[in-house]
Amino acid sequence: MPIIQTPIKDLVIYEPKVFHDDRGYFFESYNKQSFEKELGYSINFVQDNQARSVKNVLRGLHFQNHPQGQTKLIRVLEGTIWDVAVDLRNGSETFGQWFGVELSAENKRQLLVPIGFAHGYAVLSATAEVFYKCDAFYNKELEGGLLYNDETVKVDWKLNINEAIVSEKDKVQPILAAVKCNF
């Protein structure tokens, strides 16, 4: 299985093998047995989410605390995004560090974001349709966030941050030093 380890432990990119012919293409976007074999642990996805956004929309950085922390598997059905995860795991050697990867309908890459990371993305194309699997149900009382433009984290969103379209909720998230998480 084509799993690519990122510089941050446990944060991985899945690059599926795509079969092309004169009819189009086919690929396996998710296979529980293959993921378990490659990763060495089981993920029980229970919820799928889908969002459509226009160019320069910036969503994030979001997470869900225990006891319902979420692992997410993100992919793009249409367009291109810059997908970002920030390590919020207490005691991690990479705490506060971020990793970004371009996900697109064309490259078919997916990012597996484990529990303990804040996640967000910026839309680089005219529109983007994003689909992601979660291994825990959404729980409003446990949701948390990190300010997308925190100066200590310094995420490069691959867009002009002054042109970013950001929700009011995301504009008032705490900086890293004030984030309340239990990972």
Kindly report, residue by residue over 26-59, the tens digit of the pLDDT.
Answer: 998 998 998 888 888 889 999 999 999 999 999 9
62 part of the active site: yes
* Alpha-helical regions (H) of 1-95: 32-39
Tell me: pLDDT of 3 over 60. Answer: yes
Of all residues in the chain, the percent with pLDDT exceeding 90 is 92
Strand partners of residue 83: 101, 121
* Active-site residue (options: 14, 121, 132, 148): 132
Q: What is the pLDDT of residue 143?
A: 97
119 part of the active site: no
CA 16 – CA 146 distance, rounded (Å): 30
Report which secondary-structure segment, H or E, holds 169.
helix 168-171
Single pTM value for the model: 0.95
For 163, other C-beta atoms within 10 Å of its C-beta total: 9
Residue 37 dihedral angles phi and psi, to the nearest 5°? -65, -45
Of all residues in the chain, the percent with pLDDT exceeding 70 is 99
Average per-residue pLDDT for the chain: 96
* Active-site residue (options: 62, 119, 121, 148): 62
Tell me: pLDDT of 1 over 80. Answer: no
- Domains contained in the chain, CATH given: 46-178 (2.60.120.10)
Give the tokens for residue 157. 């969103």
Q: What is the pLDDT of residue 168?
A: 98
Average pLDDT of the segment spanning 151-178 = 97
